[in-house]
Structures are given as structure tokens and as C-alpha cells.
Amino acid sequence: MIVEDNEGKRIDSYLSEKLDLSRSKVQKLIKEEKVLVNGKKVNSSYSVRLDDEIIVDDELDYEIKVDPEDIPLNIIYEDDDLLIINKESGMVVHPAPGHYTGTLVNALLFRYKNLAGDKFRPGIVHRLDKDTSGLMLVAKNEFTLEKLSEMISKKEVERKYLAIVDGVIKEDSGEIDAPIGRDRNNRQKMAVTDVNSKNAITHFRVLERFNNNTLIECILDTGRTHQIRVHMAYIGYPVCNDPLYGKGKTEFGQMLHSYSIKLNHPRTSKELFYTVEAPKEFNDKLESLRNE
């Protein structure tokens, strides 16, 4: 989170209010070095400053309550086993420090009472970043949760993304094979690194070129955190409007959209194949680039 108010307030008091946690619980998190300010450890008496970047470890090992909320969802497909939803940009998938309400999980808990899986991530088999829009799978029972997780690990679920990136890519297609791990200098970011990393492979194909941007399609062999965003920045073509890896965010988030998903149903083996249009803001950006 970025400090926008309460300059000069003790960080334990500030986080207690913002995260709806007891002050003693926040102090415990700070003592356990699960709170970083601008990438550095602090003590509980630290006075927050405007534009401080505060990262709280997102391992929810302390007691919080995740409440059902009547939040509209764009459901593309549903049966007794699974959902395919079109997540809007700006929606957080599951609760984490600073985001205990308004998430996809809050919406799912309102509609479905017995979803399988972790209590903070019920039904979630994969995720999209907050500002990434598009298609997501949700499991409605234990059988489907296990099967979908297995299918994703075996690359039996094909997901395609559209992205507008900064810069003009000369190659018509390419493969980025570079391991991704936590950025050692900023825990909010991921990075291409050999330290505590996992293999990551992204395929891209150029769909359209503009004066200073490129529209591409991406297919993932792996599903690492921020994978497309990290990989495209790594080769010098960050996703447009990316606040972490690019030139910064405008009113709309990064221009990244999960537009296609294809899999065989985990129970019936029937092929499920769906595509969705990118958000209006994405298409408006494309139109403005075409008119340059």
C-alpha cells in the first residue's frame, strides 16, 4: 500500500487502522520482519511519510474474517463443478493485507456456501493480478479443484492473453525462457533471477504494430506471479501502464487481458472454449494508437 494520509503517524497505529488488525498483532508482524517500508525493515515506532510504500507479507497466518459480499460477477459458464468468470480490471482475486473486502473470494462466498480449498482462496485454482482483466476458472468442489490444479500443472488448460506493450517488437514471434523469483530489493515485485526462482516460459506473437507500441498475444507454459509483466519488461517491452514494471499507471491499469481459455471438462471431458472482448479502456487505447 502507498501512504496517502496520516503522515507522521506511527506505523503500528497506521496499519492497525488500515488493515483492521489489533495494534499488538501489527507489532508482532513488524517484529517478525513481515512489514517492509520502501523495501527496508522498520520498528513499530517508525513514523509513516507520504508516498511510503508499505509491503505486508501476504501469508495470512493471523486471524481475519472474510465476509460474503453481494458483488456482481460476469459469469461466462457455470455447471455443478466449475465456473468461468470474466474478471474486471481492478478486482483483487483473494484477500490479502489491505484487501479484505471487495475481492472475488468475497463475491464467491456470497453465492456458494461450500467451496473447496483454503479458507482464504476457496475455489481458486489460478489467479489474475488485480489490474489484469479476463477469464478465470473457479472450482466448485474438491474433485474439480484437484483435477483443475493437476490439469494446469500438466499444461492441459490453454490460456491466451492480449497485451499492449511499450516499444515496437521487430520479431513476429518469440519465446522467453527465464526463471522468475521474488525481487530481492522490493518484495512487491518479481524479477528474472537465479535466486530462489522457478522456471518460467512465455510465448508471444505480434498481432499489430504502432508508432511506439505493439499489440501481442501471449501463451504461458507456466503460471508464475506477474509472469507476462516480468518477462516483457525483461526483454525491454514492458506492458503499457504497468505501475511496477513499466512507465507507471494511468487511470486504467496495465493493458493485459486474459481473452481466451480452452480445456476439457475435468468430469465429462467435453471441450470448453470461451473468448471475451477486452475492456473498453483496452480497446480505446488500441483505437487511439491506430489513429496516431
Which residues are known to be catalytic?
Answer: 129
Element containing residue 264 per DSSP (H, E): strand 256-264
H/E element holding 111? helix 104-111
Q: Give the span between the Cα atoms of 3 and 7, in whole angstroms.
A: 8
C-alpha cell at 249: 499507471
Give the total residue count for the chain. Answer: 292
Reference 56, options 22, 101, 104, 98; nearest CA is: 98
* 3-state SS track over 116-152: CCCCCCCCECCCCCCCCEEEEEEECCHHHHHHHHHHH
Spatial contact of 109 and 67, defined as CB atoms under 8 Å apart: yes
Side chain identity at residue 236, one-letter code: G
* β-sheet bridge partners, residue 204: 174, 218
